[in-house]
């Protein structure tokens, strides 16, 4: 498997690989789904617009009605001006790779079959940072690479936010 993105959807071909054995038993899709489900935040009335946006393939963030500051994750008040008035707004989904690391250590068993995996710190063009992963990253990552949001189906009928490196535009 190519070193890179965390793939939470596991193909059947990965389930029979010797590296995916735990305690002498083959992992099955349902056990992976159950473990992954525990990692996802609960959908509440407060964060539902975010999850509904991902399902519609758009990134929605809270935007303060007073100062215009975008924020992620959602919160009751603006961290900049402390206003409690906000609107959920679709944003570009574009940003820059600010930092990254490859996780080799086993911290969560649900990711056993995809180690090492990449954790990416993305600075969105609208301002707030997002921690996610990169889909099919290039071999060489560099600070400030342009990225864009991609929306991948996950377990529990949820769409998961990930990012892909933007291809450089051809020179004219």
SS (H, E, C) 15-46: HCCHHHEECCEECCHHHHHHHHHHHCCCCCCC
pLDDT at 74: 94
Greater model confidence, 122 or 32: 122
Q: How far apart (Å, rounded) are the C-alpha atoms in residues 125 and 33?
A: 32
pLDDT at 40: 82
- Confidence check: pLDDT of 81 > 90: yes
| 39-49 per-position pLDDT tens digit | 788 899 999 99
Across the range 55-77, mean pLDDT stands at: 96
Name the pTM for this structure.
Answer: 0.75
User: How confident is residue 22, by pLDDT bands cut at 50, 70 and 90?
Assistant: very low
pLDDT at 32: 62
- Confidence check: pLDDT of 165 > 60: yes
pLDDT at 3: 46
Residue ranges of the domains in the chain? Answer: 28-165
| 113-145 per-position pLDDT tens digit | 777 888 999 999 999 999 999 998 998 999 999
Across the range 5-28, mean pLDDT stands at: 42
User: How confident is residue 82, by pLDDT bands cut at 50, 70 and 90?
Assistant: very high
């Amino acid at each position: 498997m190519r070193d890179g993105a965390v793939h939470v959807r596991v193909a059947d071909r990965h389930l029979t690989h010797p590296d995916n054995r735990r305690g002498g038993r083959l992992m099955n899709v349902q056990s992976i789904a159950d473990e992954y489900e525990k990692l996802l935040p609960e959908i509440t009335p407060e964060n539902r617009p975010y999850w509904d946006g991902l399902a519609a393939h758009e990134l929605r963030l809270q935007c303060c009605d007073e100062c215009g500051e975008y924020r992620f994750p959602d919160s009751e008040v603006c961290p900049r001006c402390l206003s409690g008035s906000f609107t959920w707004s679709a944003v570009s989904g574009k940003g820059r790779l600010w930092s990254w690391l490859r996780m080799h250590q086993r911290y969560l068993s649900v990711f056993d079959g995809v180690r090492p995996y990449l954790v990416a710190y993305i600075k969105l063009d609208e301002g707030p940072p997002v921690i996610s992963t990169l889909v099919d990253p290039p071999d060489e990552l560099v600070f400030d690479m342009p990225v864009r949001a991609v929306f991948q189906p996950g377990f529990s009928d949820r769409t998961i936010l990930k990012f892909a490196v933007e291809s450089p535009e051809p020179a004219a």
